[in-house]
Amino acid sequence: VGREDAEYLLSLIRTIPGFPNENVLFRDFMPALADPRGLGILLKALQLALPVQRQDFDSVAGLEARGFLFGPALAASLGKGFIAMRKTGKLPPETISEEYTLEYGQESVEVETNAISSGERVLIVDDLIATGGSASAAAHLVEKCGGTVAGFSFVMELEGLDGRASLGTYPASALVTMP
């Protein structure tokens, strides 16, 4: 996307200091989703910034909850399917799960045991990389299911939390980097 579009998108990211606790500078991109032009730019930018070629992955996986906001839209625009990584206890079939630590708190995610076929190349999509806890949990889940991680696609990267280090050597892209 052009510079004007990039600036417009950036202007739609809201910062809330002290949420959900006093040590966090919360970055909120909901205004970008609510804005028709912002949403269009966001999805186009994600497509253009893919960390791997479109033909080098088979499906898109996203984490509940914010990975669900644009993961399926991105997958659809690329002609791929979407794999839901849900919070524990939500999926009726047999599942595989993984625990991780957030910038604030503890979480666990799971997928259906059969959601990913052997050797399937999965692009992991998430809204934001902070410490990289949820992204690396997602990568472990893909591998536990017999798939391979094609790369990571983020909307936002928070600096100074060393999130990239937890991603190993997988290719990753982020649209916006913020302190």
The contact set with ligand ADE (CB under 6 A) reads 24-27, 103, 128, 130, 158
For residue 21, what are the CA distances in angstroms to 54, 130, 141?
39, 15, 29
Q: Minimum distance between the CB of residue 67 and ligand ADE, rounded to whole angstroms?
A: 11
- Is 13 or 115 the residue whose CB approaches ligand ADE more closely? 13
Least separation, in Å, of the C-beta of 18 and ligand ADE? 11
Please give the torsion angle defined by the CA atoms of residues 39, 42, 106 and 98, in that order, rounded to the nearest 10 degrees.
110
Nearer to ligand ADE, 130 or 139 (CB): 130
Least separation, in Å, of the C-beta of 178 and ligand ADE?
9
Nearer to ligand ADE, 62 or 147 (CB): 62
Length of the chain counted residue by residue: 179
Shortest distance in whole angstroms from residue 127 CB to ligand ADE: 7
How far apart are CB 102 and ligand ADE at their closest, in Å?
6
Which is nearer to ligand ADE, 116 or 158 (by Cβ)? 158
CA distance 114 to 96: 9
Q: Which is nearer to ligand ADE, 8 or 26 (CB)?
A: 26
Of the two residues 116 and 125, which places its CB atom closer to ligand ADE in the complex? 125
Strand order in the sheet with 81-87: 95-102, 105-112, 81-87, 59-63, 121-129, 148-158, 172-178
Report yes or no: 51 and 151 within 8 Å, Cβ to Cβ: yes
SS3 of the chain: helix, strand, coil, percent, to 5: 35, 35, 30
- As a whole number of angstroms, the distance between CA 3 and CA 24 comes to 29
Minimum distance of ligand ADE from residue 128's CB (angstroms): 5
* Tokens read off for 34: 């609510």
